[in-house]
């Protein structure tokens, strides 16, 4: 593997533990957020990973937005919208907020969330989709 360079404002999504996108729909995502003063967004698109039914609307979308104002980091995660065969009822998110200062406060969907610092400056929040709505 090589280095991954991300600029301020980037929102990246990863999923681990599968060898092929067609194994089965994901039930967990790692979201990496590099906050900036400009609001940025990323959309997770899910489908069955096998068919072309997404063309006919058989898919699910989740919008993630983030921005930083002073010591407040604001993240919003929308409800998963859409349906497809094999869609998981619940998704786990690991939110990794990069370049966090000890004084930073993190809000997800307007609610304050405690976080754990990993390494020098990465805030980690593990959250279940059902906790958000």
* Predicted TM-score (pTM) of this structure: 0.90
Structure tokens at 24: 């089965």
Domain range list for the chain: 11-132
- Read off the pLDDT band of 20 (50, 70, 90): low
Q: Do residues 62 and 43 make contact, with C-beta atoms less than 8 angstroms apart?
A: yes
Phi, psi for residue 53 in degrees, rounded to 5: -65, -20
User: CATH class for domain 11-132?
Assistant: mainly beta
In this model, does residue 18 exceed pLDDT 70? no
Mean per-residue pLDDT for 8-21?
Answer: 82
Predicted pLDDT of residue 72: 98
Between 102 and 74, residue with greater pLDDT = 74
Mean per-residue pLDDT for 108-131?
Answer: 96
Predicted pLDDT of residue 15: 84
Predicted pLDDT of residue 22: 61
């Amino acid at each position: 593997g090589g280095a991954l360079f991300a600029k301020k404002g980037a929102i990246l999504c990863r999923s681990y533990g599968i060898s092929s996108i067609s194994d089965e729909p994901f039930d967990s995502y790692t979201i990496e957020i590099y906050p900036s003063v400009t609001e940025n967004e990323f959309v997770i698109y899910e489908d069955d990973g096998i068919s072309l039914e997404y063309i006919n609307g058989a898919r699910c979308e989740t919008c993630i937005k983030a921005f930083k104002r002073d010591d407040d980091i604001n993240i919003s995660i929308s409800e998963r919208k859409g349906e497809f065969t094999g869609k998981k009822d619940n998704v786990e998110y690991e939110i990794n907020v990069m370049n966090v200062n000890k004084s930073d406060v993190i809000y997800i969907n307007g609610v304050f969330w405690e976080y754990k610092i990993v390494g020098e400056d990465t805030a980690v929040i593990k959250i279940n989709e059902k906790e958000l709505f």
